[in-house]
Structure formats: C-alpha cells, structure tokens
C-alpha cells in the first residue's frame, strides 16, 4: 500500500482517535511525525526517505533500550514492547484487535475444527477465548496439545493452559500457528504496524486477496523448510492447479525435506488434506524414478533419503519413512537455529536460493486432469518487486529459525546423542575461527550423523 493511499483514504473515526492517542503517548516521545494542513497526522512516511531514516534511528534506539538485537524481525519485537495497550485499531473498519500473536491462522483453525468437530471458529476470537470455550476436559487438553504439537509429557491442566500458551507460543511469536491483529511495518507506519488490521487487509491490499494469500502461505512453507528447487516455477504451476479448482499434491512434501519442484499430483482438497504430508508407496516409486534425471530432495535431507529410500516396500513403510524424514528435518532446523543464535547467520545464506525470484513462467498446454504440461516458458524479471521477494525470503527463513530457539520446541525435537553434540562443537569452532570451507564440510558431517541416528529407528 502506498503512502498516498494510506494518508489520503477515508479514515474510520476510531482510527483517527487511535492515531491521536498514540502520537501523544509518552512511549513515543521523540518519534518523528508531521500533520497535514487539516491537522490530521501524517501516519505514513517512506522508510528510506530522510524523515523515514529519523524514525528508523528512533526504533534502533528503542531496540537498544529493551535489549533487542538489531537484526531481521527486531522492529516487530520492539514495536510490541513499546505499544502502551497492545491493541491496534483498523484504519478501514475501526475494529480493535490485539497486536500479540493470539489469533489462530488458517491451518490452526482447521486443526481445531477437526479435533473438536466444530464447523465455525471465528477469527475475532483469540486463542484464549477458543481454548476456554472448547477445552473442558482432560481429553480436550490433549487435543490442544496435539494441535500445538506440545510434548505429551508436558503437565498441562485447564488451570495453566492459558499461561503455557502465552509463554511458549504467544510470547514466542509462533508464526506457523498464530498471527497478530496487525502485522509489523516499522518504520513506515508511526506505531510500527500496518494501518489495516487483519480484519480488512485481504480487502484493502490487492496483493493479499484470498487467492494470493494462499500463494503467500505456500511461499512461507518453502522458505521455512529451507527447501531446494525452483520455487518460483513450482509456485506458478500450483497457481494453475488452483485456478482449475484442483489441489496440487507434492509428490515429495517439502515439510519432509523434499524439493519444491514443478511436478504435482492433482487431488481434491479433501484427498490432499487426508494425505497430510505423508508419502505413499507410489510416491516413493515416482521419486526414485524422477531422481534419475533431476534433484528431488533438498541437500540437507538427502542423507536420510539415500539411506532408506530403497527399503520401502509397502504404503505403511512409506508412511514410516515420512515420519522419520519429518523428524530429521526438525533436527536440521534446530542445528540451523543454533548456528544463527551464535551469530553465524550469514554462513547459512549460501543454503538459500533467492535467484529464482528473477524469473516468471508460463506453461503451454497445461492439463489440469493430469497436472502435466508441454513446455514451460521462462521470462527474466528485474525490479523492486524481485528484491522485495528476496528480502521476504530471507526474513521468513530466519524467522523460522527464531521459532526453534524456544525451549519447548528444542526439547520436543532434540536428539540425545553425545557424538552429534561433539561434532556440533567442532562446527562452532570452525565458524568462530572463520574457517568457512571446513565449517561447511563439518555441517554436512553433522547432518549426516543426524541421518544415521534417525535411520536407526527404521
């Protein structure tokens, strides 16, 4: 949304009151803003402008004040710390929503509906309201634990479940499960948040209409799982499936460590949902055939795939392999998060694939019944949108690693093997002494050891 659109559109009276409250609050003392000739606050300033840089300096100062490291995602954290009420008013409809990560996203809503056998779960209800209404018994608590993938050993009761969710999910910015009422947008917007709340953003921002939001969600999964493959070409092909009302099934799910590549099985939404990111024997056989001519699995997950791929003889074994590969990918992302936490995030950039952003694709003679096409025509792109896509790619990938820093996330998925811990220490020593080639080889050694460990559960 442009600065002109935001500043000149018709503001809801509640939003006008909100802006006056915020700019006059002591928490924002010294943060630059101007007024129009009619006295209305100029809420938006381009971040890279001279005045935008003044705002950025102010936010940097706040980060230092609250002990928040200036890095990707820091402004979102500090904007919440600074905000006096933690409630944001939508510029369009005037509705007030929480700025904390308390609203279940689409996938979490679907999980609640399935576990509790309910048909409606309105967005306006936060996770605490939902749990209070639905979690009445011990069995209901177990359902919530399954939805949030909380370890079965965690001692959660009806009395402490809200505090548990607050500590380990809301406060941890659990982006894969929950969302805030307005997304961060520092330093452009004065309060550090998009003017439109989640209630209206899909209508006000054409780039976030329902169909496009589905595409963004797919992008997030690719970025979050650090998947290899031409993700731009795969996304464009997926959009053709959607336009034809068909669900595109990853033959090798990216959540198990496979590449995001432009080849899918056409399924109904119900069939794809029931499959739940698990492979069938036929999937494994297709992958084995395809990898004769192309990469089908991301580099980090290939170690375990190569150990077990030829052992699958039944659908049941294909599901078992799926579970092991998912666990293995959790371990890999924990290793990445440890590297990032120790300050070596730049080392990990070599394992991302941003260059695909500079291409777009059209598919000749696409057949929605089979998912096949005759030819893919590539078009080279250059411009600000491509760089924005790259910036988003990096941000989302590292935000996922931030999630893995939470105590429960690591405890629930951590290996128990002293050999791997020892190999990790060697990796950190190489990184500390800036021996990057040795560090890369050692990372591969660590991941190979993880694969060997997980393969023992076959």
Q: Distance of alpha carbon 21 from its chain centroid, rounded?
A: 32
Burial class (CB in 10 A: 0-12, 13-18, 19+), 339: buried
pLDDT of residue 135: 92
Q: Inform me whether the pLDDT recorded for 112 exceeds 50.
A: yes
| Percent of residues, the chain, with pLDDT higher than 70 | 89
More confident residue, 407 or 234: 234
pLDDT of residue 269: 65
Q: Inform me whether the pLDDT recorded for 172 exceeds 70.
A: yes
pLDDT in tens, 198-215: 888 755 544 444 444 444
**Alpha-carbon distance 452 to 458, whole Å?**
10
pLDDT in tens, 344-357: 999 999 999 888 98
Spatial CB neighbours of 49, under 8 Å, sequence gap ≥ 6: none
Mean pLDDT of the chain: 87
Mean of the pLDDT values across residues 109-134? 87
DSSP code per residue over 22-48: HHTSGGGTT---EE-TTS-EE-B--TT
- 370: tokens are 């089979």
Please state the domain extents for the chain.
3-99+180-204, 106-170, 209-455
């Amino acid at each position: 949304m442009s600065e002109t659109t935001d500043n000149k559109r018709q503001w809801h009276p509640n939003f006008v009151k909100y802006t006056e409250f915020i700019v006059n609050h002591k928490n924002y003392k010294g943060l630059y803003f101007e007024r129009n000739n009619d006295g209305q606050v100029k809420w938006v300033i381009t971040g890279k402008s001279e005045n935008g840089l003044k705002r950025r300096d102010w936010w940097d100062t706040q980060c230092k004040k609250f002990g928040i490291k200036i890095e990707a995602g820091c402004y979102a954290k500090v904007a919440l710390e600074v905000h006096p009420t933690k409630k944001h008013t939508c510029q369009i409809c005037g509705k007030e929503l929480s700025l904390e990560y308390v609203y279940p996203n689409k996938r979490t809503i679907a999980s609640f509906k399935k576990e509790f056998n309910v048909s409606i779960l309105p967005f306006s209800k936060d996770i605490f309201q939902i749990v209070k209404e639905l979690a009445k018994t011990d069995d209901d608590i177990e359902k919530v634990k399954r939805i949030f993938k909380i370890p079965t050993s965690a001692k959660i009761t009806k009395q402490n479940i809200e505090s548990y969710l607050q500590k380990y999910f809301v406060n941890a910015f659990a982006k894969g499960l929950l969302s805030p009422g307005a997304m961060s947008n520092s330093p452009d917007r004065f309060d550090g948040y998009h003017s439109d709340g989640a209630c209206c953003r899909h209508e006000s921002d054409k780039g976030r209409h329902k169909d496009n939001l589905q595409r963004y969600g797919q992008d997030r999964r690719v970025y979050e799982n650090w998947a290899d493959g031409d993700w731009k070409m795969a996304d464009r092909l997926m959009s053709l499936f959607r336009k034809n009302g068909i669900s595109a099934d990853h033959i090798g799910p990216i959540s198990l460590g496979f590449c995001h590549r432009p080849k899918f099985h056409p399924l109904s939404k119900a069939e794809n949902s029931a499959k739940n990111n698990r492979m069938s024997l036929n999937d494994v056989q297709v992958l084995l055939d395809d990898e004769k001519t192309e990469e089908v699995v991301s580099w980090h997950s290939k170690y375990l795939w190569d150990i077990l791929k030829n052992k699958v003889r039944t659908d049941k074994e294909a599901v078992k392999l799926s579970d092991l590969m998912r666990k293995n990918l959790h371990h890999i992302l924990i290793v990445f998060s440890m590297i990032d936490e120790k300050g070596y995030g730049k080392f990990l950039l070599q394992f991302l694939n941003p260059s695909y952003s500079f291409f777009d694709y059209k598919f000749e003679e696409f057949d929605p019944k089979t998912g096949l096409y005759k030819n893919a025509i590539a078009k080279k792109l250059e411009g600000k949108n491509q760089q924005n896509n790259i910036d988003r790619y990096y941000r989302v990938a590292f935000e996922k690693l931030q999630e893995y820093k939470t105590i429960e996330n690591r405890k629930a998925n951590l290996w128990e093997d002293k050999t791997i811990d020892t190999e990790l220490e060697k990796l950190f020593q190489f990184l500390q002494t800036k021996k990057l080639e040795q560090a890369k080889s050692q990372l591969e050694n660590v991941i190979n050891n993880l694969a060997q460990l997980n393969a023992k559960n076959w």
